[in-house]
Structure 1
Amino acid sequence: MPTSSGTSRLRAKGRPSTDARKSSGSASFDGISHLYDRFAQLTQDDLARWVAEHLPPFSQEALDIGCGTGQFHDLLLARSEWLTGVDVSADQLQVARDRYRSSRVTYTLRRLDAGTLHQLGQYDLVFSSTALHHLGPADEVLRQVRCLVKPGGTLVVIDCIRPPQGILMARMGMFEWWRWLRCLHGAAKVLVRRRSWRDAALMFELRTHPTWRRLAAEALPLGKEEFDRVYTRRLPGARTYGLNSSTRGAVWRRSLQPEE
């Protein structure tokens, strides 16, 4: 059985806590979970390969912050004894529960932001994919996230960044035009890669959906250089990686030595 303060605090046999039912934070994909789940399946093959390369061989207890529908849980369950997934979206967690009916994984609905992350406990492996930029200013979020990693443990993060073209277009007053162009481009890429008009239309529907647009407007992604600067400052010794034009990755291993 798991023994860490993290899992014992959150493990509730798949049921959300009272605190979680009251919550949900604004960055919830409720209502578009089926769209987002298919979007993840269509776009995250390359990211999954990177994750597989950088996860530690084995961890006793793992935490997935902002786990969504559990896009990476095949990998995480293959490399850990116990997995806890937390998210603010009840809809997405239900998709994950239906997909991963394992006694080794627990899904918890709760509020996630820079002020509540410290309540999650400590884990041997902490993972997060395209979620941290929804939780608040990166500097404060990372200060909390690093505390979730046990001494000797590992943090693996994928997060969205602001594409330099978007910054330029915003300065030129053409951001809305550019955003619509990116939606069309994303749908076209899916059409070429998958040869499916249905999936292309789904991609366009998701990225133009009011909920997606609201979440994108509220999020706080860093630019490329800013990502590297903030992550290496808050996580000394961290390595950062360019994954594609809109995402970067980071891997950090916490020292066994007590921190000052």
Structure 2
Amino acid sequence: MSKRKLNRLVTEKYVDGWDDLRLMTLAGLRCRGVTSTSINSFIRGIGIRWSDSSTIRLDRLEYHIRVELNKMAARTMVVLNPLKVVIASRLYIEQSDFRMKDSKDYYGLAPGKSVLLRYAYPIKCTDVILAEDGETVVEIWAEYDPSKKTKPKGVLHWVAQPSNGVEPLQVEVRLFNILFLSENPADLGNWLADLNPQSKIVIPGAYAVPSLRDSAVGESFQFERLGISWSIRTPRKISWFSTAL
């Protein structure tokens, strides 16, 4: 994309600035937590291109980013849309990991069904607390198998309360996806109409593990199971860019 079009995106505030994580600028890549090693590896991988009309797919860059992140980014767990689960203590799973009705192709939690909490124990849903509308799930009651004899297929990431009555670390997560819906928007006449309305989503009430409280600005991590990388830009505000791992 030309510098003129990039400048229009910035000056007309379609993005948050030259360092917006959705832009393929060096400043934007740096804010993503992308290292110079990843970029250099990508450049070596594509080689020399003599044609100005050649297009390089974004997933080639993402591949080199993933390789580097697997070497230097620690894995951790964050729940974006918390759903409370009560066992002996309280923990939180993703709302999308629970259904009232089970099915053969579903590996999440459901009434009477068991799942494995990653790095922990199998749990079985024993009761469901609904809101006044009779449909919205607000809390799940479960029992756990300390012997680990239960072997469920589903594995869920989770975040626990650090202590009784104390809520987990709350963070704001900003989800960034591709800025345009087309692979090459520069070829379109009305290229601004191709902007992805879901390219940035802000989640103000995500829960993170307590160990992330003291993370330094710019430090990078990988979310367990979600397959997403993120880096801290400001305390308790996490910039998360969608790179499948």
Which band: TM-score by shorter chain? under 0.3
* Between structures 1 and 2, the one with greater strand share: 2
* Between structures 1 and 2, the one with greater helix share: 1
From the CA coordinates, give the structure whose radius of gyration is larger: 2
Report the TM-score when normalising by structure 1: 0.26
Report the TM-score when normalising by structure 2: 0.27
